[in-house]
């Protein structure tokens, strides 16, 4: 089993992208830390054949969603609560876009994040979501289409 340091070095940037996409810029760091702490705890018992990147990305998405839940505890709802206006580009990247990704329905969000953000092939995404690679591809495409609508509407 490789030293955990190598896992962090190899996948740290991918996990950060996933956390930014799902948790939003303000909570990405917390989600990243939670992800690697949880992964490090479980790491010694990880089966040898595990795809480490896919494993980390699923933890990252779950921890990122948890940061939403922690914030919305006072408003029990399926919808992510409204967040403050975030015009401009803090950190130099598309803050609103990542918030729009955070607001996608769960399956589309998973497919978009796993495929477009984390770079997993559709077959890997299908293994994580259940269902066929074709269904995973469709969910990613639907997610992108929805982003195109919601995000560009916001821009307008």
Partner 1 sequence: MSASTAPSAHHAAREFTPLPAQHEPRHLSPLTALPALTALPTLTTPDDDAHLRDLHTRLVREAEEHGQLDVAYRTVSSAVGDLLLAATPAGVVRVAFAQEDFDVVLTELAARLSPRVLAAPRRLDAAARQLEEYFAGSRRRFDVPIDLTLAAGFRRQVLQTLQTLPTIAYGRTASYAEVARAAGSERAVRAVGSACATNPVPVLVPCHRVVRSDGTFGGYRGGVEAKRLLLGLEGVTA
Nearer to partner 1, 46 or 81 (CB): 46
Which residues are near partner 1 by CB under 8 A? 1-5, 8, 12-13, 16-17, 20-21, 29, 32-33, 36-37, 40-41, 43-44, 89, 91-94, 97, 116-117, 119, 140-141, 144-145, 147-148, 151-152, 155-156
- To partner 1, the closest distance from the beta carbon of 89 in angstroms equals 8
In terms of C-beta density within 10 A (0-12 exposed, 13-18 middle, 19 or more buried), how is residue 73 classed? exposed
Question: Helix, strand or coil for residue 74?
Answer: coil
Nearer to partner 1, 15 or 74 (CB): 15
| Distance separating alpha carbons of residues 104 and 69, to the nearest angstrom | 15
Nearer to partner 1, 37 or 75 (CB): 37
- To partner 1, the closest distance from the beta carbon of 134 in angstroms equals 15
Nearer to partner 1, 94 or 103 (CB): 94
- What CA–CA distances, in Å, run from 47 to 51, 55, 109, 117, 131? 9, 11, 27, 25, 23
| Distance separating alpha carbons of residues 148 and 38, to the nearest angstrom | 34
- To partner 1, the closest distance from the beta carbon of 70 in angstroms equals 17
The count of residues in the chain is 156
């Amino acid at each position: 089993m490789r030293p955990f340091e190598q896992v962090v070095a190899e996948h740290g940037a991918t996990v950060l992208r996933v956390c930014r996409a799902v948790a939003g810029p303000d909570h990405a760091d917390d989600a990243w830390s939670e992800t690697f702490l949880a992964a490090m705890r479980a790491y010694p018992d990880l089966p040898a054949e595990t795809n480490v990147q896919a494993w980390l990305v699923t933890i990252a998405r779950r921890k990122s969603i948890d940061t939403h839940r922690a914030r919305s505890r006072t408003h029990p709802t399926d919808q992510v609560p409204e967040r403050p206006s975030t015009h401009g580009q803090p950190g130099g990247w598309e803050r609103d876009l990542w918030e729009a990704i955070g607001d996608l329905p769960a399956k589309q969000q998973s497919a978009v994040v796993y495929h477009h953000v984390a770079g997993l092939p559709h077959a890997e995404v299908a293994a994580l979501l259940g269902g066929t690679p074709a269904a995973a591809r469709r969910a990613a495409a639907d997610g992108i289409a929805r982003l195109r609508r919601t995000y560009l509407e916001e821009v307008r």
